[in-house]
Amino acid sequence: MNRLPMSLEHKIHVLEDAATVAQRAAAEFAALSAEAIRQRGRFSVALAGGSTPKQMYRLLAIAPLSEKIAWQ
């Protein structure tokens, strides 16, 4: 059986509420962007529209997460 590399395996996280989901997603986004830049020198992402990711985007736009992401 072919297995994905551990970093690409799917994981399911059950969280308390939408605010916690947004916080977790924003923290993961920041961590993954930093890791990609360390490994490959860049991070590219396509962001979704609509109302679902709004709270995560708000968290990414303010400190402390906004300071951890190389937006350039």
Q: What is the mean pLDDT of residues 55-66?
A: 93
If DSSP states are collapsed to H, E and C, what string results for the chain? CCCCCHHHCCCCCCCCCHHHHHHHHHHHHHHHHHHHHHHHCCCCCCCCCCCCCHHHHHHHHCCCHHHHCCCC
Convert the pLDDT of each residue in 5-59 to its tens digit.
Answer: 556 667 888 999 999 999 999 999 999 999 999 999 999 989 899 888 999 999 9
Q: Is residue 2 very low, low, confident or very high in pLDDT (cuts 50, 70, 90)?
A: low
Q: How many CB atoms lie within 10 A of CB 29?
A: 21
pLDDT at 61: 93
E-strand ranges in the chain read none
pLDDT of residue 13: 85
**Predicted pLDDT of residue 71:** 85
Give the whole-angstrom CA distance, residue 37 versus residue 24.
20
